[in-house]
Amino acid sequence: MINPRLGVSSWSVNNSLTRGDFALLGLPRLTADHGLGKVEICHFHFPSTDSGYLAELKAAHVDAGVSFFTYLMDKGDITHPDSAKREEELRSIEEAIDIAAAAGAQRIRVIAGDAEPSTEALAISAAGLLRLAGYGADKGVRVVTENWHRLLDRPADVVEIMERTEGKVGLKFDFGNWPRDRKYDDLPKIARFAECTHAKADFPQPGEIDEVDFRRCLDICKDAGFVGPHILIFASPGDEWDSLDIERDIAAGYV
């Protein structure tokens, strides 16, 4: 049975994709075979962005019965200090939104910025995100950002961006981006804004998950009333799909 509140990122199977074990067009079917209902794809995993290929990718998700949930834009600094460069970055992300829309993605994840946090940088980021959110809305693609990169490395700055964008931009809540020595204190401060996650678990040894940490992060979401999907992230030594199955079986108890 496919669980619509669990999914996988193409980053979690990066090694398999890089080796050519399967093509990106095969990911939706593999996702369904593992009981997961949503797919996220990193921009650098696309072998082509021509219209024919994007139509094929969209059809592959429909045929497999899973959703193309998020196009992960893993580059771009919308807080670049040079205004001309910043405009170039924004236009590049608008082009990525066009790609996401053509491939049937429901969302695009945009990095909030690499600037050192400041009142000015946060205002610039919020303005850029709102511009992109408006562009995305016209294309049927929702913009989300993430507690990631320098600008959003602390909860107060995440909260400010969420409040400045007034619900027009969503938050992808990542379990593993912040250091463990502070994340259990910091993550609850932003969990109320989460509409989807990167449910990232550590595997100190192949096949051996740090279940205590993973459950603690899942509990933070549960305590905040989270009702969105958990997108499973695996980036440790070991078999990718076997490890994702371990994450799936634990996360299934929370959805």
Q: Is there a contact between 34 and 7 (Cβ–Cβ < 8 Å)?
A: no
The pLDDT score that the predictor gives to residue 239 is: 97
| DSSP labels, 48-100 | --SHHHHHHHHHHHHHHT-EEEEEE-----TT-SSHHHHHHHHHHHHHHHHHH
For 119-137, what is the mean pLDDT? 98
Query: Each residue of 5-42: pLDDT tens digit?
Result: 999 999 999 999 999 999 999 999 999 999 999 999 99
pTM of the model as a whole: 0.96
- What is the pLDDT at residue 234? 98
Q: Say what the pLDDT of residue 144 is.
A: 98
The pLDDT value recorded for residue 99 is 98
Residue ranges per structural domain of the chain: 3-254
Q: Which residues pair with 35 in a beta bridge?
A: none
CB burial class (10 A; 0-12, 13-18, 19+) of residue 50?
A: exposed
Alpha carbons 28 and 107: distance in angstroms, whole number: 16
Topology of domain 3-254 in CATH is TIM Barrel (3.20.20)
Vertex 69: Cα angle to 166 and 52 (nearest 5) = 120
Give the percent of the chain with pLDDT over 70.
100
Res 34: pLDDT: 98
What pLDDT was estimated at residue 150?
A: 96
SS3 content of the chain, % helix, strand, coil (to 5): 55, 20, 30
CB-CB contact of 210 with 203 (8 Å): yes
DSSP 113-141: --SPP-HHHHHHHHHHHHHHHHHHHHHT-
| Ramachandran angles phi, psi of 218, nearest 5° | -65, -35
- Tell me, what's the pLDDT at 79? 98
- Summary mean pLDDT of the chain: 98
